[in-house]
Structure 1
């Protein structure tokens, strides 16, 4: 090979690496925009109740309805992105999200707000449904796990930012001004995503002039659901998130009561405990390589169990320590689960990820009603008991995964 050819090859590789880095940061920023919009209302519930003249308990519906519409919309985007590519539906959904944010500025009725939040859930689903499949299409295998870790870390940062921004706006601004600021944040983020995402799209699936849905488009879902390993991963993601996100909801109620008496904005600072999860997400790729998926599942679940138990000591410092542990354990668990789903799916990758995230967000929506009787009966300690029951189920499913892996390895040796 001539020196000129070697130089051209090196330049091509450098350009390819830059495109891959742009993709990672573009999708991570898109994730931050999505999770700010999803969770901003969680810090604004008192303001929403006052502005729309509803009970605070009714205001909590805003997060539930968005989670439900988001969960099922994930499946739609999985089909769509396999047909027309990843970039186009992702950018269109983000652009429409900014428009919906702007509409929220002038809303007066609570029923209209519910409708807009349902629509937001549909639009918010595009990024989580497409991101991991987009990575698998465009990235080298050597950096796929690291890209997934950065992306999950961005999810946690978006969740933290959304709640803190919502709490700050609720404390100091009225509803129209708060929504104007949210629209500005979303618009700036979407513009940056537009310029970061590379124009390339390697999806060579059914690129037809007309988008027709057929049984073949649904076959990916049935294929993945028939895979016992993927079914277990979907269940694990659902139960783990059921515990995590709802523990954060109930601890706010606990901390606003005596003897803590935290204020409305002060109580949202508990979400800074997500930062330990951000760190765990970022480091999870190296831990998987060093320790292995199965041991990391057991370790991260154990950390979640320990974190939940620590909070029962019931002081401010132990509650914070417990949530730092729980966040660390959960995001390690979620990173491994998410990456395993993406790696296991050889075809219809967006559908595999969408099924995982659909179960993930349905788990979040169902966790509140599941833990509510525990809260009413025994307060925060009851929530911990309910969480421990769910985490024991997680341990059982992880044990079944380990047994299945051992069986496959044994069968492989016998056939050699």
Structure 2
């Protein structure tokens, strides 16, 4: 069994980071974009929705591409091309143009997602899959935070157009880094891909259902916790609420450690740990003390990333020949879950506030643990 080299580890970290850098990049500057283009907050939020929607619609088709080209080729091309629509956002003259380039980003991002997981399953086996997957997930954590942080920081001091120029440069450099690092890790002859169609039975559909519940929990938690903290007795402003995303960085430490500890354990065990950590975390947010709520959100987000690592590992080791096709379907369900997480809790929020949302989130976490228990044996 070939162990991952240092170059391969860094490359997979960069794959996750490059994909997530632009995904939520406009989240911290929605107010500035609304003023710039004279639209309301509901309209400007489409700068996030259109990208995740395109990711969900495009992901199932990545398997078709992966059967014709190698995952390395697709990852590098998608990462390099991704810098172009990010850069073109700095030149737009209307909100419709901005949405167009955000949609194009959503077409390219799932190629990196799906082919990265496919590459992991193709090049490594056994415990190495869990280890490399944890590094990839760590990259997604870092990229998701860094994209928000870089754009918000540069916008504050230079301007939002300059922010996207800087972000495009970072994405381009990461694409070049991935290209250089991945060619240093040759494909073992015994592990080259077959052309057989993917096997997609109940175990893989159960992984998709887990993904739906996982992102539902994440989006619901941070969307409605923000509303909760903006009200009395906390009364946090926009800047303070935005800084709460720093709790994602805790997962940078926890996820690689968990990946190493789980090398000798099946993905189901990691999923169960993720569910317990997430449930404890979201439960803590009911305590009316700010630092306890922040701690709870940190644990909740950590549980989400652990569950994502478990699902990616399960797919990489179970999907058969066409892993990119399997992860593409998973990503569709994953991002549909995120959309539902923004909408469904609103009904409970109106009547029961944050407590009602917490009960719903706990329910979804219990469901994904049950699904994993039944479907991942």
SS in 2 for 1:312: coil
Aligned to 1:245: 219
Query: How big is each residue's C-alpha offset from its partner over 1:141-188, in whole Å with a ceiling of 9 and x where there is no partner?
Result: 452221111111111111111222233234334222222222222222
Q: Deviations 1:69-109 (Å, cap 9, x if unpaired)? A: 11222222222122111122222222221111121111121
Post-superposition offset of 1:235: 0.3
Match of 2:31 among 25, 41, 46: 46
Partners in 2 of 1:184 and 1:293 — Cα distance?
36
Structure-2 change in CA distance of 1:20 and 1:358 (3 Å) = farther
Are residue 35 (structure 1) and residue 20 (structure 2) matched?
A: yes
CA distance in 1, matches of 2:266, 2:122: 24
SS class of match (1:54) = coil
1:355 to 329, 348, 351: 329
Deviations 1:273-322 (A, max 9, x none): 11232223212233334554434333321221121111011321011110
Which residue number in structure 2 is paired with residue 162 of structure 1? 147
Match of 1:397 in 2: 371
Query: For 2:22, what is the secondary structure of its paired residue?
Result: helix
TM-aligned CA deviation for residue 250 of structure 1? 2.5
**Aligned residue in 2 for 1:149:** 134
Q: Is the 8 A contact 2:208 2:333 kept in 1?
A: yes
In the alignment, is residue 99 of structure 1 matched against residue 115 of structure 2?
Answer: no
Is the contact made by 2:8 and 2:181 (CA closer than 8 Å) also made in structure 1? yes
User: For residues 214 and 153 of structure 2, what CA distance do their matches in structure 1 show?
Assistant: 29
CA deviations on 1:234-263 (whole Å, 9 max, x unpaired) are 101111111113312222333333433333
Is 2:104 the counterpart of 1:136?
Answer: no
Paired residues for 1:203-282 under 5 Å: 203-205=192-194, 219-220=197-198, 223-224=199-200, 227-282=201-256
Relative to structure 1, the CA distance from residue 164 to residue 250 in structure 2 (aligned partners, 3 Å threshold; closer, same or farther) is farther
Q: CA RMSD in A?
A: 2.3
Q: Which residue of 2 aligns with 1:324?
A: 298
Residue 372 (structure 1) aligned with residue 352 (structure 2): no
1:58 maps to 2:58: no
What residue in structure 1 maps to residue 98 of structure 2?
A: 113
CA–CA distance in 2 between the matches of 1:149 and 1:70?
22
Q: 1:394 to 1:140 in 2, by over 3 A?
A: closer
> Is the contact between residue 41 and residue 166 of structure 1 (CA under 8 Å) also seen in structure 2?
yes
Structure 2 vs 1, CA of residues 298 and 193 (structure 1 numbering), >3 Å: closer, same or farther? closer
Q: Provide Cα deviations, 1:344-393, integer angstroms capped at 9, x if missing partner.
A: 12221221222222211221122111122222333322321221222232
- Please identify the structure whose Cα radius of gyration is greater: 1
Cα drift, residue 27 of structure 1: 2.7
1:385 to 342, 354, 359: 359
Residues 1:70 and 2:44 are matched in the alignment: no
Distance 2:46 2:349 in 1: 18
Q: Summarize deviations over 1:316-351 as a string: whole Å, max 9, x none.
A: 101111012112222222211210111012221221
Which structure is richer in relative contact order (CA contacts within 8 A, separation 6 or more)?
A: 2
Q: Is the 8 A contact 1:167 1:265 kept in 2?
A: no
Question: Aligned to 2:231, what secondary structure does the other structure show?
Answer: coil
Distance across 2 between alignment mates of 1:399 and 1:145: 19
Q: TM-score, normalised by structure 1?
A: 0.83
Alignment gaps of 5+ in structure 1: 1-12, 207-215, 406-416
Which deviates further from its counterpart, 122-131 or 282-291?
282-291
Q: Tell me whether 1:312 sits opposite 2:297 in the alignment.
A: no
Per-residue Cα deviation, 1:101-125 (whole angstroms, up to 9, x for no partner): 1211111211221121111100111
TM-score by length of structure 2 reads 0.91
Aligned residues: 373
